[in-house]
């Protein structure tokens, strides 16, 4: 790669202070992330849509084949298990706090710092 063919990174943030609208700007930040995720979901759905159309045009399978495809109980059980894995990942922070609360010994973090710093 010659020097003038180097990879270029464009400026991604517009110059100028970004306004926030909610009393807590974290709501704006979260909303922005939700919309980015929605966008990526939409991109994926579009890709699946294209996939089905190409498959149908090439005579592989049609959207109707997908609609009519019957899952066995075992298939559904495997899917349900995968759903649970996803839920566990997504709600990890909430469940994690509960685990702390339920722990027999719920020690203040700074107390732990103090302990390891001062045990010698």
Partner 1 sequence: MPNAYKEQQLHDALPTTSHDELARQHFVRSFKEHLVTDLHPGLKTVYEKRAKGKFIAEHQREPETIQEVGQVMKQDSHYQAWSSLLRTSQEMMWSSAQIPVQRAIHELATQASETPAAGSLRLNPDLKIPAYHTAVDIHCQPGGYHTEYINNDVAQGAIYDRAVYIYAMGQMGVNNADMGDSTVAWLKREHPELKPTRILDMGCAVGHSTLPYVSGFEGAEVHAIDVAAPMLRYAHARASSMGLPVHFSQQNAETIDFEDNSFDLVVSHILLHETSSAAIKNIIRECHRVLKPGGMMLHVETPPYEGMEPFDTFLFDWDSENNNEPFWRKSHLLDLEALARDSGFQSHKPIQIMVPSAFQETQRSNTFQGGDFGGGGVWFVYGCQK
81 burial type by CB count under 10 A (0-12 exposed, 13-18 middle, 19+ buried): exposed
* Residue with smaller CB distance to partner 1, 24 or 110: 24
Using CB under 8 A, which residues numbered 10 to 29 contact partner 1? 10-16, 18-22, 27-28
Would you say 88 and 95 are in contact if contact means Cβ atoms under 8 Å apart? yes
Query: Should residue 57 be labelled a site residue for partner 1 when binding is judged by CB under 8 A?
Result: no
Paired tokens of 60: 């592989």
Q: How far apart are CA 44 and CA 89, in angstroms?
A: 20
Q: Where does this chain touch partner 1 (CB under 8 A) — which range of 44-52, 68-76, 84-92, 100-108?
A: 44-52
The residues of the shown chain that bind partner 1, judged by CB under 8 A, are 4-5, 8-16, 18-22, 27-28, 31-32, 35-36, 38-40, 42-43, 46-47, 50
């Amino acid at each position: 790669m010659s020097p003038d063919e180097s990879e270029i990174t464009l400026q991604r943030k517009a110059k100028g202070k970004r306004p926030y609208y909610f009393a807590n700007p974290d709501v704006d930040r979260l909303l922005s992330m939700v919309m980015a995720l929605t966008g990526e979901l939409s991109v994926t759905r579009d890709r699946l849509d294209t996939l089905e159309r190409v498959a149908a045009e090439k005579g592989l399978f049609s959207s109707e084949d997908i609609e009519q495809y019957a899952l066995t109980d075992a298939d559904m059980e495997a899917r349900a298990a995968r759903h649970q894995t996803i839920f566990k990942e997504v709600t990890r922070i909430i469940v994690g706090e509960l685990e702390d609360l339920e722990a027999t010994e719920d020690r203040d973090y700074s107390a732990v710092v103090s302990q390891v710093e001062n045990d010698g």
